[in-house]
Amino acid sequence: MMKKHILGGAICLFIGILSYNNSQAQFTLGAQLRTRTELRDGQGSPLSLGTKPAIFTSQRSRLSAGFTGYRFKLALTVQDVRVWGQDVSTINRTTTADNNGFMLQEAWAEIMLLDTTVKNKTLNLKIGRQELNYDDGRLLGNLNWLQQGRRHDAALIKFESKSWMLHLGTAFNQNKENAAGTVYTATPPGNYTANTNGGTQYKSLEYLYLGKKLAKGNISFLFLADQFNKYHTDTVSGVAVKTWDEGVYNRATTGLFFNNQFNKLSVTASAYYQFGSNASGQTISGELLSASFQYALCKSFSAGAGADYTTGGLSSSGRTSKAFDPLYGSPHAFWGLMDYFYAANGFGNKGLQDYYIKTKLKAGPRFQMTLDGHEFFSSSYIPGGITRRFGTEADLVGIYALSKVITFEAGYSHFWNTASLTAASVKNITNAQSNSNWAYLMITLKPELLLK
């Protein structure tokens, strides 16, 4: 039923576009097909000894349409995400109930509130399902690596000038059209909820983003507040069950981001503080610090280094969590490609120190290769007197653009872990292997069509 509604809406939008009579109108139509074949031998978490690796192919299929007219923009993206063979070839339904991969990725409208004759300044209202992607995507990102990506149902006021931008955003989630009350069941059904709040979706969110363009970069300030529905736990037949209550737990995150290029040197730094209460109602006081540089040794090769630090553990009183949550970003781009930290696979609340070296080789206009090395440590004490060192990761990625539409990407990662990583208070894996591997081959086709 949901699939029919989405397709019906897409058809209605298309008909409306064709019938719109405006010489300034512009219509874009795009598609994307992305397949990714993976070998997982300890991706996300080390496997226990004797466990066999997994091999599968996942596919993202997207169709997007955009329409620009006088003082407005419209965009719609529908997608299907599934694993090859997920549905048997003779199934009599469009998809299996537990792995419904057809969804609405984006559906938004942007209204220009200022007259179009105003130069170098815009004041726009953007409403609907949309991606939020700011700065390097560490805290607010579209999570493009994940086949289903990340999106928000939100309203956004955007003021922008030649060098400044001020965004005010808000979201308010509900499970359905209720007759009374605003209690939100924060773990909606489906296999496509991925965030760092333990699978708990926020009930509401508000943020202020202030950014200024620099000569070859930008500096920005972010204040974000998100709220989670309160709950209490009951025991039913010996099983703990959440019962959702009125009221919310409030959390806030604020900080600065800086990025700029000085001749051949690119510098990035950020610092954020998090306070309030997390999704479990626990008082929090966490920090994130990050700094890195990349230097172009020649036209085709650059190298750099950096360090990330997130606090973890408990305060001296044991009542306050110091674990920083990186919100709704794209962790795959930062803390190792094997997604051991701040991704779908948890690693406790110990915090993380990541010291890394990154290199990039551009061998012509179509091919590039990156080789990165990470050394991971816990930011807090691990019970049992185990070392704070989690392990070492090496990531190798090659990308070849056959054309503007077709791209091939392949990668291999290896993780050498210590007993600290698999300890009960971290990933809690018994009899774990000490070496893990992950490899993938991704093929992307992304044609676009522009009509006026």
Express each pLDDT in 168-179 by its tens digit.
999 999 999 999
- Asked whether the predicted pLDDT for residue 199 surpasses 80, the reply is no
User: What sign results for the dihedral spanned by CA atoms 289, 261, 149, 414?
Assistant: negative
> How far, in Å, CA of 259 to CA of 171, rounded?
28
Contact status, residue 173 vs residue 201, Cβ threshold 8 Å:
yes
Q: What is the pLDDT of residue 442?
A: 98
Task: Residue 285: name the closest of 322, 327, 325 by CA.
Answer: 322
Does the pLDDT of residue 155 top 90, yes or no?
yes
Mean pLDDT over all residues of the chain?
A: 90
Residue with more model confidence, 100 or 169: 169
Q: pLDDT tens digits, residue range 121-144? A: 999 999 999 999 999 999 999 999
pLDDT digits (tens, 9 = 90+) for 273-297: 999 999 989 999 999 999 999 999 9
Transcribe 171-204 into DSSP letters: EE--SS--SS-----SS-SSS----SSTTPPPSE
User: Mean pLDDT across the stretch 76-104?
Assistant: 79
Structure-token match 């700011």, residue found? 134
More confident position, 8 or 265: 265
d(CA 422, CA 343): 16
> Which has the minimum average pLDDT: 180-194, 210-224, 341-355, 374-388?
180-194
Average pLDDT of the residues in 258-272: 97
Query: What three-state secondary structure class fits 116?
Result: coil
| Cα–Cα distance for residue pair 373/30, rounded to 1 Å | 36
Beta strands in 283-366 (DSSP E): 283-296, 301-310, 352-362
pLDDT of amino acid 82: 92
pLDDT number for residue 239: 83
Average pLDDT over residues 62-81: 95
**Is the Cβ–Cβ distance between 304 and 358 less than 8 Å?**
yes
Residues in a beta bridge with 368:
362, 399
Residue 371 · residue 359 · CB < 8 Å: yes
Q: Give the residue among 181, 189, 327, 153 at the shortest CA–CA distance from 244.
A: 181
Phi, psi at 11, each rounded to 5°: -65, -45
Residue pair 46/415 in contact (Cβ under 8 Å)? The answer is yes
Q: Does the pLDDT of residue 235 top 50, yes or no?
A: yes
Both tokens assigned to 356: 């890394």
Question: What is the distance between the alpha carbons of residues 371 and 291, in angstroms, rounded to a whole number?
Answer: 19
The reported pLDDT for the residue numbered 22 is: 54
The residue-averaged pLDDT of 29-53 equals 96
Query: How buried is residue 163: exposed, middle or buried, by Cβ count under 10 Å (0-12/13-18/19+)?
Result: exposed
Share of the chain above pLDDT 90, in %: 75
Q: Which of 1-15, 151-165, 301-315, 401-415 bottoms out in mean pLDDT, i.e. has the lowest?
A: 1-15
Q: Is 344 a residue whose pLDDT tops 80?
A: no
pLDDT over threshold 90, residue 271:
yes
Report the pLDDT value the prediction gives residue 115, as an integer from 0 to 100: 82
317 or 132: which leads in pLDDT: 132
Confidence of residue 191 (pLDDT cuts 50, 70, 90): very low
Tokens of 147: 């086949």
pLDDT of residue 237: 81
pTM of the model: 0.90
pLDDT of residue 7: 55
Task: Reply yes or no on whether the pLDDT at 258 is more than 50.
Answer: yes
Q: Is the pLDDT of residue 404 over 60?
A: yes
pLDDT at 386: 80
pLDDT value of position 193 = 44
Determine the Cα–Cα distance for residues 115 and 117; give it in Å rounded to an integer.
5
pLDDT > 70 in the chain, percent: 89
Amino acid identity of 23?
S
pLDDT of 192 reads: 43
pLDDT over threshold 50, residue 438: yes
